[in-house]
Structure 1
Amino acid sequence: MCGIVAAYGAVDPDKCERMLARLRHRGPDDTGVLAVDGAWLGHQRLSIIDVSGGHQPLTDLDETAWIVGNGEIYNHERLTSRLPDGVLRSRSDTEAALHAVLRGGPAAVATLDGMFAIAMATADGGGLVARDPMGVKPLYQVTDGGVTLFASELRAFDDEDRPRVEAFPPGSLWTPGAGVVRFADAVPVEVRPARRAQHDTWDDVVLDEVRDAVVAAVRRRMMSDVGVGVFLSGGLDSAIVAAIAAREVRERGEVLPTFAVGTAGSGDLVAAARVAEHIGSDHHEVVVTAAAVAEALDEAVTVIEHFDPALVRSAVPNLLLAREASKEVKVVLTGEGADELFAGYSYVHTDEFADPDALHAELVRSLEQLHGLNLQRCDRTTMFHGLEAREPFLDAALVRTALALPPEWKQRPGGRPEKALLREAFTGWLPEDLLWRGKEQFGDGSGAGAVLAALAAERVAGTDTGATPEVPAHCWPLRSDEEVLYFAIWSREFAGIRADATLQPFATA
């Protein structure tokens, strides 16, 4: 996990150096830069795989092509196993991406299974930039006349470039000659409910299929040469991930570190402690006060580069948790994506989505939008403290498995709890009352939501914020005191950036 900057065309090395310096938090372990004719690559490294030998930019044996990358390529060993002996210069998963493209051309990025943003340059003036299909890893771009700039975060760009910043689309690649070309969709087009529900429930074969897919996804994300922990909110999704990971490390004679955050006595802290005791993890609690939540607000909005209330409520405790977790581990697993796969949000159980096909379409839409919402919040809050977050529920194979299920099974006939199929698949892995615990949004379960709502009402009604900020025509209408307050903070930090080009409102806010 790292921060990258890339430039192609009429490169200004000083500008590129400034941009990379603003991303130092994403990779505090090492800095690497490369300037070749018509291209510049920069890398801030958080050392996860091949700690001693993975310095970037990485190059081939002939030193005719170079690559920098942010993220993880989970199938890198399978990809490199096909290479002749002596070709590899490191054990880095990013080097697998370099050789895949050198051997298969730009289209070979479609063979990479993981979360990634990569940039390549070649001695003959060629270049390539690509982002993973789900958009787990961030990437932004600016084209200004004779130069195209790429960076991992909005904050990297100089003020004069900010009005032209756009999010680089997930599942796309860029080359100097062809521009931006899509190579994969977040949700594969062939994924449709493979079978219609004949009954209201499912059988053991289905439960085994779902459970095996989740377990395999967690195992893939345990790949690391450094310590791995789990963000444990006490909710269903992170509890399942923690239970699987705990079994995995126990087989190696190790104990899984887990991390929870909340105000004293909050529902998340209580539930997380019980899950941790059940799975035998080395549990760490971050108990925060209302004052600490208020103090972290401005930084949280700036860090996540977003002002949507649903994201900010989660970002504040997430940021405080990441700061403490980074003292113990460099990688954490999270439960992001399960609600989108298995219909966990309350709004999808309204009359609007009563038709199963409408529900399925909404789940697909929500997955396609994650890169600018929860994934953006998760990436920024962790990487701000040099911590890599991985999301097992967004594993490509698991996404296919979950979306091939009949959407009827994800509905709630007769008041059935949300995600009932997923809960039943993990019977015996968690205490029954926690396995069937009702859903709370992370910001609410941690206690931060109530603190922030009261703070926003006070500041907007009083003199703290001054006048209500003017909302540009290109931004969506602000919908609450919280959004007014958070937009004011965001505007102060990201003046000139078009909200509609880089952000979107959260559907459940």
Structure 2
Amino acid sequence: MFGARAPEVVEKMLQVLAHRGPDDQHCVAGEGFTLGARRLSIIDLAGGRQPLSTPDQSIWACQNGEIYNFPELRSQLQAQGHHFSNRSDTEVLPHLYQLHGDGMAKAIHGMFAVAVWDKARNRGLLIRDRAGKKPLYYCVHQGGLWFASEIKALLQIPGFQRKLNQEAVHHFLSLKNVPAPLSAFEGISMLPPAHQLVWEDGRIKTIEAYWRLDWTPLEGELDEQELADELLQRLQRGVQRRLLADVPVGFFLSGGLDSSLATALAASHSSQKVKTFTLRYRADSSTPGKELDLACARQIAKQYDTEHYEEELDFSRFRDELPAILTHFDEPFGGVMSTYFLSRLIVKHLKVAISGDGADELFGSYLSHRLARPLAEYASGKTDDLGHFQDQPEFLARLSSPHDWEWRSKLFVFTEADKRALYRPERLQDLSTTDWMRDVFARCTAQDPLNRVLEAEFLTQLPDQVLTFADRLSMAHSLEIRTGFLDTEVMEFAARIPGRFKIHGQEIKSVLKTAARKYLPSEAIARPKEGFVMPVNQWLSGWLLDYARTTLSPANLDQHGLFQAQEVTRILEEFAAGNAALANKVLSLLCFQIWYDFYFVHPVSLPLQAPVSHQQV
């Protein structure tokens, strides 16, 4: 924290974050600051205890994550006379600040949440990585700035009063996640991706972006094969950078294009056998398409001779562990949760694994991506080439709107009308996720229809949902996830590829598939997307529906007084009667109620681990 010497509080905060770094813990307290860090030892196993400082201890820094370009930064700093005491990536941070000040953020590449304290100037700096792979929450309390990787640590601050943030809940009901900079607790905020915060003179002086992804389309005669070749080279370098570790690195392998290509790139250029991991579903807990995922994952594992492991999952395990899973988010969350189970398998063998996260948001895959160009064509009266929706003009007519943010808002789990019907009259407020979506699109600079949607979701859905579940559910088991697709040079090239090379006709991720042909069999490239998404809709139709009815009882809804019991009951019973389109509504309501009960009705004191070592400076 910035603003006080508070080692006892920071120690307690570190103790509830033991899962994020079980190998070591340490805090440093000085006049006006206390920094602490848990450590998952991956680089410089013997050294690297955080926080770390310059030799004169005038600048201190700690981080959660990895700085992938630290070898180059270290060499540059040494050439300018800087001296280092260990081989860790974290030690470059105080030296970079000494050299560049607030401009240091532009020099570091990786996944990170960084804190720096400048003793001479009585000043603190927080930095979050470009894509938002690592979380960074903060709050101002009793004259100081408190910050942590997870909300549960901030809830340990003496005197902090938990209060539900209804604006966050309002957006969650539409999005399945709470969007930054909001959190579900009033007084706690999330630092957005690619932003830095300066604390000076006892207050937040600035919060500003240090990087913005450029979506200006590439110019000149463009050829898909040439684009694919350049993309492949960048992705190869991105994957190689993520293999930097003093421990073995494995791979998520869903059988889909993204994780298969990342695995193939690493296995093709590695002198050691690659370890791969996938989920399989018990026959009575699966859905059509999952068996193809498994077959393809096994095919890739065989082709590249990986050391392959599988974990079987069924609805009973999901049912039993759902409440525990939700506690790792500290907020209501209705997104993908399969990462939790696969991470538990991987951590039996490894500390680090590489995933395919980020490819969907850069190259186009989701329904919103497939709709972007057809809806633009439909709105302009062109109906001869509507891609996936050529035979669905009525569907396009229902969604068609003058603005992209308007039709995108029609894909919400709960629309504004749905939420007005859901809230009790006395809890209605002047809130609108549609207005929030309009503001997101207003920040977008991309021009073609697909890239505008990709940019909007890169700014929001990627960090707030996709990377959130990747981080929380892997860190729940002390596993670090890395992704080559979110390497800076991959992102900066992918964003500038025109949309027509990403989705054309009914082909999604076209340029990425072209790049993958060198490494993957045609059936792995051509098959529909499935990935690690669990068949929750099917599971909700069985035992989980009874669980939802019990959890969402009128008495339980009275605990927060937000929702009308009759409307919740209507949604549950219409879903039970066969309206599968309500599945996400049911899951979102269920997840919210479980979360609310844990944090507000029956709050549980988290078990404290071994004492944290600390030093005074």
- What range is the shorter-chain TM-score in? 0.7 to 0.9
Q: Show the 5 A alignment for 1:248-263.
A: 248-249=269-270, 252=271, 254-263=272-281
Q: State the distance in 2 between where 1:122 and 1:221 align.
A: 30
Report the counterpart of residue 442 of structure 2 in structure 1: none
Distance 1:428 1:82, change over 3 A: closer
Q: State the distance in 1 between where 2:88 and 2:49 align.
A: 9
Report the counterpart of residue 553 of structure 2 in structure 1: 466
Report the counterpart of residue 3 of structure 1 in structure 2: none
Distance apart, 1:277 and its partner CA: 1.0
Aligned equivalent of 2:453, options 362, 376, 401: 362
Letter paired with 2:218: A
> Does residue 468 of structure 2 align to residue 376 of structure 1?
yes
Report the counterpart of residue 299 of structure 2 in structure 1: 274
SS of 1:105 mapped into structure 2: helix
Report the counterpart of residue 191 of structure 1 in structure 2: 215
Distance apart, 1:485 and its partner CA: 0.7
Report the counterpart of residue 157 of structure 1 in structure 2: 154
Aligned equivalent of 2:486, options 394, 400, 411: 394
Report the counterpart of residue 244 of structure 1 in structure 2: 265
Distance 1:261 1:210, change over 3 A: same
Conserved? CA contact 2:253–2:277, under 8 Å: yes
Distance 1:219 1:480, change over 3 A: same
Report the counterpart of residue 489 of structure 1 in structure 2: 594
SS of 1:9 mapped into structure 2: coil
Distance apart, 1:441 and its partner CA: 4.9
SS of 1:480 mapped into structure 2: helix
Report the counterpart of residue 509 of structure 2 in structure 1: 419
Letter paired with 2:375: E
Structure 2: where are the runs of 5+ without partners? 163-185, 284-289, 380-446, 572-583, 602-617
Report the counterpart of residue 349 of structure 2 in structure 1: 328
SS of 2:46 mapped into structure 1: coil
Report the counterpart of residue 505 of structure 1 in structure 2: none
Q: State the distance in 1 between where 2:508 and 2:599 align.
A: 38
Report the counterpart of residue 125 of structure 2 in structure 1: 128
Could you list the per-position Cα deviations for residues 274-316 of structure 1 after superposition, in whole angstroms to 9, with x for gaps in the alignment?
221111110000012321121121111222334443x1xx21x
> Does residue 42 of structure 2 align to residue 48 of structure 1?
yes
Letter paired with 2:197: W
Distance 1:493 1:362, change over 3 A: same
> Does residue 178 of structure 2 align to residue 88 of structure 1?
no
Report the counterpart of residue 501 of structure 2 in structure 1: 409
SS of 2:277 mapped into structure 1: strand
Aligned equivalent of 1:217, options 215, 231, 238: 238
Report the counterpart of residue 527 of structure 2 in structure 1: 437
Report the counterpart of residue 503 of structure 1 in structure 2: none
Structure 1: where are the runs of 5+ without partners? 1-6, 497-509
Report the counterpart of residue 171 of structure 1 in structure 2: 194
Q: State the distance in 1 between where 2:340 and 2:299 align.
A: 23
SS of 2:500 mapped into structure 1: helix
Aligned equivalent of 1:181, options 202, 207, 215: 207
Distance apart, 1:11 and its partner CA: 4.4
Distance apart, 1:86 and its partner CA: 6.4
Deviates more, 1:370-379 or 1:12-21: 12-21
Conserved? CA contact 2:255–2:531, under 8 Å: no
Could you list the per-position Cα deviations for residues 66-125 of structure 1 after superposition, in whole angstroms to 9, with x for gaps in the alignment?
111111111111111122366011111111122111111111221111111111223333
Conserved? CA contact 2:368–2:453, under 8 Å: no
Conserved? CA contact 2:7–2:27, under 8 Å: no
> Does residue 109 of structure 2 align to residue 113 of structure 1?
yes
Letter paired with 1:154: I
Report the counterpart of residue 147 of structure 1 in structure 2: 144
Q: State the distance in 1 between where 2:210 and 2:118 align.
A: 24
Could you list the per-position Cα deviations for residues 383-402 of structure 1 after superposition, in whole angstroms to 9, with x for gaps in the alignment?
11111001111111101111
Deviates more, 1:162-171 or 1:346-355: 346-355
Report the counterpart of residue 339 of structure 1 in structure 2: 360
Higher relative contact order (CA 8 A, sep 6+): 2
Conserved? CA contact 1:70–1:137, under 8 Å: yes
Q: State the distance in 2 between where 1:379 and 1:328 align.
A: 18
Conserved? CA contact 1:261–1:288, under 8 Å: yes
Distance apart, 1:127 and its partner CA: 2.1
Letter paired with 1:257: K
Could you list the per-position Cα deviations for residues 367-387 of structure 1 after superposition, in whole angstroms to 9, with x for gaps in the alignment?
111221110100011111111
SS of 1:443 mapped into structure 2: coil
Q: State the distance in 2 between where 1:259 and 1:488 align.
A: 32
Letter paired with 2:593: A
Distance 1:434 1:119, change over 3 A: same
Q: State the distance in 2 between where 1:305 and 1:212 align.
A: 39
Conserved? CA contact 2:513–2:525, under 8 Å: yes
SS of 1:32 mapped into structure 2: strand
Q: State the distance in 1 between where 2:50 and 2:354 align.
A: 24
Distance apart, 1:407 and its partner CA: 1.0
Letter paired with 1:423: K
Conserved? CA contact 1:457–1:482, under 8 Å: no
Letter paired with 2:40: L
Q: State the distance in 2 between where 1:464 and 1:255 align.
A: 47
Letter paired with 1:28: P
Distance 1:406 1:381, change over 3 A: same
Conserved? CA contact 1:258–1:283, under 8 Å: yes
Distance apart, 1:493 and its partner CA: 2.8
Deviates more, 1:89-98 or 1:328-337: 89-98
Q: Normalization by structure 2: what TM-score?
A: 0.72
Distance apart, 1:28 and its partner CA: 0.1
Q: Rg: which structure is higher?
A: 2
Report the counterpart of residue 318 of structure 2 in structure 1: 293
SS of 1:322 mapped into structure 2: helix
Distance apart, 1:464 and its partner CA: 4.6
Task: Give the alignment's Cα RMSD to 1 decimal.
Answer: 2.3
Distance apart, 1:409 and its partner CA: 1.7
SS of 1:28 mapped into structure 2: coil
Distance 1:197 1:165, change over 3 A: farther
Letter paired with 1:116: F
Could you list the per-position Cα deviations for residues 411-430 of structure 1 after superposition, in whole angstroms to 9, with x for gaps in the alignment?
232x3x21122112111312
Letter paired with 2:74: T
Distance 1:452 1:234, change over 3 A: farther
Q: State the distance in 2 between where 1:307 and 1:105 align.
A: 37
Report the counterpart of residue 135 of structure 2 in structure 1: 138
Among all aligned residue pairs of Structure 1 and Structure 2, give the percentage whose two residues are the same amino acid: 31
Q: State the distance in 2 between where 1:305 and 1:273 align.
A: 35
Conserved? CA contact 1:228–1:333, under 8 Å: yes
Distance 1:248 1:180, change over 3 A: farther
